[in-house]
Structure 1
Amino acid sequence: MHRHALVVPVVVALIGSTAASAAAQPAPNTVVLQPAPDIAGVIKGGTLPELVVRGLRSADDPLWLPEVGLVFSESQGNRVVRLGDDDQVSTFVGDLNGPLGMTFDRQGRLISLQTRAGVAGPRVIWPPGREAVIADRYEGKPFGRPNDVVSDRRGGVYFSDLGPRPTPPGALSPAVYYVPPGGMPIRVADDIARPNGLMLSRDEKILYVNDTGGIHVYAFDVGPDGRLANRRVLAAYIGRDRSVAAGEPPVSNADGLTIDDAGRLYALTEAGIEVVSSNGEHLGAIPVWCITRRCQNLTFGGPDKQTLYIAGGGTLLRIRMLARGFGGRVK
């Protein structure tokens, strides 16, 4: 059992939520819980996020597993942890290699992206006895820094690779890959500056990709072989990285993505959780902050999939929603 010894001030901001306040960064090691704006069908105005876990070395990519509950990556602890009914965390899978993004496929396998040099790539890490390497190289070259992953109903896996910054000579550049079931990785998109969060549409005909190095979420048509076509901008985010120098292109630091049963996308950016409809309409932003940094990834969970779990900076938050997560797959 992992106990949380770090004492962190919690400030409840009883003020109206705006895009500007959502993007404002609080003092270090402080959790600011701001009320959500009213977003029709998404969240009731005034709803506050709840601080669930703090003091971990890192926290990323929460996932609600059938008959298990919530698990998420503690990359710097080289493990995946499970949130118990008492809101304490324990090791679910240990001895990993900098795990980040996770997905759960239709074979009941938990797939985790490892990031340590030499072993970077998607691997099956659970259940015990079914561990396997899905991919660790593309055309003989090792992956740089795999970040997010989603599986499809065919049994294939999409994952993003941010790559190192700057990209060393001869190394793989940032890209999105697809690994068909039993096959070798295919580079399916290499025209996004820093591809990060991934999500499939409910019918799996569209793959959405966040660009951490820009301000857009992109949409691609998914072909019958898993390849992508017809890249277009779905929406522009409002979150902005204030450290970007004047005159430089704006950056949203868009990270993790999830989807609800109405097809709306939820993305973590410098503005918090930005909500976008399937036709690209920006619906609003829910302010959240994960102590030491912006939050990184999120998922719907709970028995009714109406609780949004948000992870980042060694912190786990949750917030009750009106919207319900998509029930057609785990992620």
Structure 2
Amino acid sequence: MGSPREVLTGIVMGESARWHDGQLWFCDWGAGEVIRLEGSSPSVVARVRGLPFCIDWLPGGDLLILDGPGARLLRAGSLHADLSDIDGSHPWNDIAVDSRGNVFVNNIGYDFPAGPAPGLIAVVTPSGSVRQVADGLEFPNGMAVTADDGTLIVAESHASRLTAFDIGADGSLTNRRVWADLPGAAPDGICIDRAGAVWYAAVPNQHCQLVREGGEVLATISLPDGAFDCALTDDGRTLYALTADYANLFGGRTGRLFAIPLS
């Protein structure tokens, strides 16, 4: 495993790192932009009036953008789903899509940094229906779906754990369980490696850590600032991490993107 290599600087507040079609994508909350990394050059793919909290793709390839404060899930610039009937008062945070086209969206349940209050998960089905499928989460943050579409894993930042649910074909979530306890950590963004272990980014710990189900730590990568999200390349050989100075969020362009060779 190599040392982190700085790829980009000058990001306001980077989140939602995703590897898609051979390129690294992420959201810059402070700039209201969705950015794709082309080689070593950033390209603005979309601008959002509001905050582009998170991105993912439908099975057909359409880009989804979550306007968290606006309770809107956008598709090709138009409204894909209105989430306000579930919760229009608190920020929607992260999304994850399964291969059936079910879109899981979580809401932290309060206006950060005030709180805390219980959060929830909703599903937007391929037919366009929206319903709540889980509640009682302690600051739900990063989410990921396993390769077999069988499990949704969500980071509960205020509970210092990763939580798992079984996914039904209709997007129902059942069999809630602790996937891994993470004592002393507040997991933010996550991604799943090819062996089924989870990388999570941790802001106060200033690291990305790889854990196996049950909580065994397999690797730790220290970073110079708070780590907000991470993404793996398809071959699993490189981890990308988005960081920023947590004490100066939105106060300047302290955000950076790092690439870490894993093999």
Please classify the TM superposition score into its range, dividing by the shorter chain length.
0.7 to 0.9
Determine if the alignment matches structure 1 residue 154 to structure 2 residue 107. Answer: no
Q: Give the corresponding residue for 1:121.
A: 72
Alpha-carbon contact 1:138-1:185 (below 8 Å) kept: no
Give 1:64's match in structure 2, choosing from 15, 19, 22: 19
SS in 2 for 1:213: helix
Q: Give the corresponding residue for 2:158.
A: 213
Equivalent residue pairs, number: 249
Q: Give the corresponding residue for 2:248.
A: none
Q: Give the corresponding residue for 1:197.
A: 142
Report the Cα distance in structure 2 between the residues aligned to 1:82 and 1:290, rounded to whole angstroms: 23
SS in 2 for 1:224: coil
Read off the aligned partner of 1:261 and give its amino acid letter: R
Report the Cα distance in structure 2 between the residues aligned to 1:288 and 1:182, rounded to whole angstroms: 43
Alpha-carbon contact 1:210-1:216 (below 8 Å) kept: yes
Give 1:273's match in structure 2, choosing from 183, 203, 208: 208
Matches for 1:58-207 after TM superposition, within 5 Å: 58-66=13-21, 69-85=23-39, 87-116=40-69, 119-124=70-75, 130-139=76-85, 141-142=87-88, 144-163=90-109, 164-165=111-112, 166=114, 174-207=119-152
Offset at 1:266? 0.8
Determine if the alignment matches structure 1 residue 263 to structure 2 residue 196. Answer: yes
Alpha-carbon contact 1:136-1:143 (below 8 Å) kept: no
Give 1:286's match in structure 2, choosing from 216, 220, 243: 220
Determine if the alignment matches structure 1 residue 306 to structure 2 residue 237. Answer: yes
Q: Give the corresponding residue for 1:225.
A: 170
Report the Cα distance in structure 1 between the residues aligned to 2:73 and 2:107, rounded to whole angstroms: 11
Alpha-carbon contact 2:18-2:24 (below 8 Å) kept: yes
SS in 2 for 1:154: coil
Offset at 1:114? 1.0
Read off the aligned partner of 1:205 and give its amino acid letter: G
Determine if the alignment matches structure 1 residue 52 to structure 2 residue 7. Answer: yes
TM-score, normalised to structure 2, is: 0.86
Report the Cα distance in structure 2 between the residues aligned to 1:312 and 1:176, rounded to whole angstroms: 26
Alpha-carbon contact 2:4-2:223 (below 8 Å) kept: no
Matches for 1:214-253 after TM superposition, within 5 Å: 214-238=159-183, 240=184, 252-253=185-186
Q: Give the corresponding residue for 1:32.
A: none
Report the Cα distance in structure 2 between the residues aligned to 1:281 and 1:173, rounded to whole angstroms: 24
Please report the RMSD computed on the Cα atoms of aligned residues, expressed in angstroms: 2.2
Offset at 1:194? 0.9
Inter-CA distance 218–95: structure 2 relative to 1 (3 Å threshold): closer
Q: Deviations over 1:92-148 (max 9, x none)?
A: 2124421122112211111121123xx223212xxxxx3332223343641521211
SS in 2 for 1:107: coil
Offset at 1:301? 2.2
Report the Cα distance in structure 1 between the residues aligned to 2:118 and 2:177, rounded to whole angstroms: 21
Report the Cα distance in structure 1 between the residues aligned to 2:103 and 2:191, rounded to whole angstroms: 16
Inter-CA distance 262–114: structure 2 relative to 1 (3 Å threshold): same
SS in 2 for 1:296: strand
Report the Cα distance in structure 2 between the residues aligned to 1:237 and 1:288, rounded to whole angstroms: 16
The percent of aligned pairs where both chains have the same amino acid is 26
Report the Cα distance in structure 2 between the residues aligned to 1:64 and 1:316, rounded to whole angstroms: 13
Read off the aligned partner of 2:53 and give its amino acid letter: L
Offset at 1:233? 0.8
Q: Which has the higher strand share?
A: 2
Inter-CA distance 290–88: structure 2 relative to 1 (3 Å threshold): farther
